[in-house]
């Protein structure tokens, strides 16, 4: 069993915002694995797939970003999964736009959604895939920036980053070591 969670906000008005990179990336995971988001459970909408006979649950929390941890905690409890079975994909203002960074553990940094996840589940030693969103030319408050729409000229860059993040998540779900996935996809 492997659980891949993409952080974001469920309302359509947030669909193309920087804060929804995790939602977009898990959509790519589902597409690549032939899964559909059909079921609601654990304050999430989920898709199910299988890799090598193992179940892979792909989730988009419906709790809004700042309470994402509630949904992740429920998923882990329901499926009796631990840190080794979890990967979380999310946007990261600390990385330049279009970059991705995979880590086997770490802090929440400036990300309130990850802060919620870590606080709710009580550990931080799970894989995470961060999608960089920082544009050095933008000078607005962080909350306004993350909730703003991706600029049209950057759209392809972010689509490519989400696709790479999805590929990295699938590699982790297939059992590749985090170190190998980091080597292949970081940057």
Alpha-helix residue ranges (DSSP H) falling in 86-153: 112-121, 142-146
Residue 136: what pLDDT?
79
Residue 107: what pLDDT?
92
Backbone angles phi, psi at 173, to 5 degrees: -65, -25
- For 102-141, give one letter per residue: b (16+ CB within 10 A) or e: bebeeebeebbbbbbbbebbeebebbbbbbbbbbeeeeee
- For 17-31, give one letter per residue: b (16+ CB within 10 A) or e: bbbbbbbbbbbbbbe
Q: Which fold has domain 2-185?
A: Rossmann fold (3.40.50)
Give me the residue spans of the domains in the chain.
Answer: 2-185
Alpha-helix residue ranges (DSSP H) falling in 16-151: 21-33, 68-78, 112-121, 142-146
CA distances from 118 to 18, 71, 105 (A): 21, 12, 11
- Point out the catalytic residue in the list 4, 14, 19, 88: 19
Pairing type for strands 54-61 and 39-41 reads unpaired
50 catalytic per annotation: no
Residue 187: what pLDDT?
67
Mean pLDDT per block of 10 residues along the chain (187 residues) reads: 96 90 97 97 98 96 96 98 96 93 92 95 97 83 81 93 98 96 91
């Amino acid at each position: 069993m492997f659980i891949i969670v993409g952080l974001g906000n469920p309302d359509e008005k947030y669909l193309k915002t920087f804060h929804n990179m995790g939602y977009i990336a898990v959509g790519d995971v589902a597409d690549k694995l032939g899964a559909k988001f059909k079921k609601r459970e654990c304050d999430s909408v989920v898709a199910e797939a299988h890799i090598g006979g193992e179940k892979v649950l792909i989730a988009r929390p419906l709790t809004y970003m700042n309470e994402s941890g509630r949904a992740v905690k429920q998923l882990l409890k329901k499926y009796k999964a631990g840190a080794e079975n979890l990967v979380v994909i999310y946007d990261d203002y600390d990385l330049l736009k279009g970059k991705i960074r995979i880590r086997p553990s770490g802090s929440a940094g400036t990300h309130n959604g990850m802060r919620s996840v870590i606080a709710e589940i009580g550990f931080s030693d799970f894989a995470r895939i961060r999608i960089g969103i920082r544009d050095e030319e933008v000078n607005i408050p962080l909350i306004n920036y993350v909730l703003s729409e991706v600029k049209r000229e950057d759209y392809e860059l972010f689509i490519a980053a989400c696709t790479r993040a999805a590929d990295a998540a699938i590699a982790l779900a297939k059992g590749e070591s985090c170190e190998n996935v980091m080597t292949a996809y970081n940057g």
